[in-house]
């Protein structure tokens, strides 16, 4: 999978822009606040129907413009998909594939697969549990579009149950009413957990191997899924039959607590991942270098799992992240980009990039204007 051409209209600080991308490496270079990240954000928006930087689609519209429009040609196996994202000041969003409007955002999942690695992803280890759940959910939604629909359904049921809990001081819900919502939440939650546990079974193996390589066999990474309703032996296929009953039992057992707090404390929306390095909890004791190695291992594992599952590589976006990694980790990351289209935003091409990346497209950004050229590596490689 790769992007051929992308056209922007009134997107962020771009009034109009058209770019042809290299099927492998594209280096987007420029000073800070010139619009480098805006270009890769536009690609991400085509993939997910929303930005990774803001929840407000109106932020994507060029100041004083009436709308924003992004189109791109996506080479997907033996076909070319023309993808389009349009949003106007009246808060109307329109997403099309081959000029056919999509009825639901979920219909976009899996059509154009993107993995992004940015400085914010370095918070995956020590940041909030929501970041780690988001990491799983984004990957699974692209591999299995039905997973995205399950998340939407689960969150609707969760909202209804929480509304009952919050209003309980005025109108206590009947046991029969709570039982209905508990059964629905546990039913959809069990389906979500089946996907997550399958993903985790691959993630554990791949991330352990990648981390071991990056650390030169000095560190052993173990990933564990944290939940208050699952059996401990996740490797046993029969635990799937116990997820539903385990979740349902915990929902009933913690009902009094949930009524006091006004929210549901049991379910996939409260779960977490833990990372152990040589049996030590990385959230509490990992060094900055170890945190970066774990984050890098997770992202590289995400790429590997998607490629194996879909028989096609995703697009990789490295948004100003190389500067956050030391030469060792930069080198390991660059090793993995040889067989997939990659977009690198950076303020400069360092010596390692010149040495390891021999053939790429150079895109220089200056205040929303684009200068395209060829990058061939070596001392004279910065041609544009």
Give residue 381's pLDDT: 46
**3-state SS class at 25:** strand
Per-residue pLDDT reduced to its tens digit, 53-95: 999 999 999 999 999 999 999 998 889 999 999 999 988 999 9
Helices (H) and strands (E) in the chain, counts: 10, 15
pLDDT at 384 over 50: no
Mean pLDDT of 237-254: 85
Under 8 Å between Cβ of 7 and 72: yes
The pTM for the full model equals 0.90
- Sorted by where each starts, the structural domains of the chain and their CATH numbers stand as 1-113+312-384 (3.40.50.300), 121-310 (1.20.1050.90)
Give residue 323's pLDDT: 83
Per-residue pLDDT reduced to its tens digit, 126-182: 999 999 999 999 999 999 999 999 999 999 999 999 999 998 777 888 888 899 999
Task: Dump the DSSP string for 354-371.
Answer: HHH--SEEEEEEETTEEE
Mean pLDDT of 97-116: 93
Give residue 198's pLDDT: 92
How would residue 116 be classed by pLDDT, with cut points 50, 70 and 90?
very high
Per-residue pLDDT reduced to its tens digit, 294-348: 999 999 999 999 999 999 999 999 998 888 888 888 888 888 787 899 999 999 8
Mean pLDDT of the chain: 90
- Cα separation, 348 vs 117, in Å, equals 18
Overall residue count recorded for the chain in this entry:
384
How would residue 268 be classed by pLDDT, with cut points 50, 70 and 90?
very high
Per-residue pLDDT reduced to its tens digit, 218-230: 899 999 999 988 8
Burial of 210 (C-beta count, 10 Å sphere; 0-12/13-18/19+): buried
- Cα separation, 15 vs 333, in Å, equals 34
């Amino acid at each position: 999978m790769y992007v051929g051409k992308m056209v922007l209209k009134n997107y962020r600080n771009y009034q109009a822009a058209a770019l042809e991308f290299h099927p492998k490496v594209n280096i987007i270079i420029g000073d800070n606040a010139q619009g480098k990240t805006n270009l890769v954000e536009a690609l991400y928006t085509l993939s997910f129907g929303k930005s990774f930087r803001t929840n407000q689609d109106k932020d994507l519209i060029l100041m004083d413009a009436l709308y924003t429009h992004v189109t791109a040609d996506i080479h997907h196996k033996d076909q070319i998909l023309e993808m389009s994202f349009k949003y106007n000041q009246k808060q109307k969003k329109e997403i099309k594939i081959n000029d056919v409007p999509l009825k639901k955002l979920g219909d976009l999942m899996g059509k154009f697969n993107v993995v992004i690695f940015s400085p914010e992803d370095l918070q995956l280890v020590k940041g909030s549990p929501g970041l780690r759940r988001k990491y799983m959910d984004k990957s699974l939604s692209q591999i299995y579009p039905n997973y995205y629909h399950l998340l939407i359904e689960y969150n609707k049921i969760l909202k209804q149950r929480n509304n009952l809990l919050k209003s309980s001081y005025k109108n206590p819900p009947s046991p029969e009413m709570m039982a209905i919502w508990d059964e629905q939440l546990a039913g959809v939650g069990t389906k979500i957990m089946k996907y997550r546990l399958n993903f985790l079974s691959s993630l554990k193996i791949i991330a352990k191997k990648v981390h071991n390589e990056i650390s030169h066999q000095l560190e052993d990474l173990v990933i564990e899924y944290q939940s208050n309703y699952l059996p401990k032996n996740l490797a046993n296929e029969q635990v799937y039959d116990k997820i539903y009953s385990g979740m349902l039992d915990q929902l009933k057992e913690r009902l009094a607590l949930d009524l006091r707090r006004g929210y549901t404390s049991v379910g996939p929306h409260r779960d977490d991942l833990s990372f152990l390095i040589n049996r030590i909890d990385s959230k509490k004791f990992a060094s900055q270098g170890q945190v970066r190695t774990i984050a890098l291992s997770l992202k590289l594992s995400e790429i590997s799992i998607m490629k194996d599952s879909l028989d096609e590589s995703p697009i990789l976006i490295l948004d100003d992240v190389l500067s956050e990694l030391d030469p060792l980790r930069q080198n390991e990351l660059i090793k993995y980009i040889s067989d997939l289209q990659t977009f690198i935003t950076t303020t400069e091409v360092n010596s390692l990039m010149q040495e390891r990346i021999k053939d790429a497209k150079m895109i220089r950004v200056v205040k929303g204007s684009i200068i395209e050229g060829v990058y061939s590596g070596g001392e004279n490689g910065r041609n544009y």
